Chains A and B, each alone.
Chain A
C-alpha cells in the first residue's frame, strides 16, 4: 500500500512558466511533509518542507501548499529554469508520540523537464 503517491511520472514545462508537482497521501498520522530534488547519481537534496499546522510555505521560487482535508500537497516552482530539471520526491513523516521524525515515507517521484 503506497501511503504517499505521486501520480504523474513526468512533467514537461517551458522555461519561465510555472511547474506544479502534486502529491497525495493516505495516512492521516502524517504531520510533516517535505520535497526533495534528485539529480542522476546523486542523493536527494532537501528543498522545502511544511508542517501540518500550515497550509503554505514559501522559499524563493518554491512554494509548497498543503490541503489536509484532501490529503494533498503540491510544489509550485515559479519561474521554472532548465536547472530545475530533476526528479522530485515528496515525503511525509509522522511525529509518533514526539519521539522523532526519523522515518520518511516517499512517493515514487516525478521527473521534471524544463525546456529552454
Chain B
C-alpha cells in the first residue's frame, strides 16, 4: 500500500502479558517514529529511528518498552509485562530523511490492557 500500515488495528491483552505492535512505513522513508496517544491527549513521542538505528529513544517510558527496526523498514514496538496504564493508541509515522515535521502517520493500534 501507499501509506503507513500498522497491525493489528486493535489489541486486547491481559495485564502482565507481552505484546508486539508492527509498523510498515512508506517505501523509501528512512525515518520512522512511534508515538502514544492516551485518551484526550495529543500524541506523545516515544522513539525515532533513522534507518536501522534509534536516533532518539528519550520518550520510552521505562525498560518494559523496546522497539526495533532491523532492516531499516518494518519496525516492531515491544511491550513487556503490560500494565493497565499502557492502554492507548500507538501511532507510527514515517518521513523522508530530514523532513520529520511532515511525517505521515498510520491509523494506529489501539492497545487495551485488561
Contacts and interface: CB of A to CB of B under 8 A. Distances in A.
Contacts of B40: 108
Contacts of B102: 34, 46, 49
A41 interface: yes
A56 B100 CA distance: 21
Interface residues of B, number: 29
Contacts of A34: 101-102
Given A42-B107, A43-B106, A105 B45 contact: yes
Interface in A80-116: 89, 91, 93, 99-109
Interface stretch (B11-19, B51-59, B67-75, B77-85): B51-59
Contacts of B91: 43-44
B2 to A, nearest CB: 14
B20 interface: no
B4 A104 contact: no
A43 B35 CA distance: 11
A104 B100 contact: yes
B89 to A, nearest CB: 9
A102 B105 contact: no
Contacts, number: 74
Contact of A89 (B42, B50, B55, B104): B42
Nearest to A96: B56
A46 B104 contact: yes
Most buried by A among B44, B50, B99, B105: B105
Interface of A: 4, 6, 32, 34, 36, 41-46, 49, 89, 91, 93, 99-109
23 contacts: A6-B42, A32-B101, A34-B102, A43-B106, A46-B102, A93-B100, A93-B101, A99-B55, A100-B48, A101-B100, A101-B101, A102-B31, A102-B33, A102-B48, A102-B50, A102-B56, A103-B56, A103-B59, A104-B33, A104-B101, A104-B103, A106-B35, A108-B42
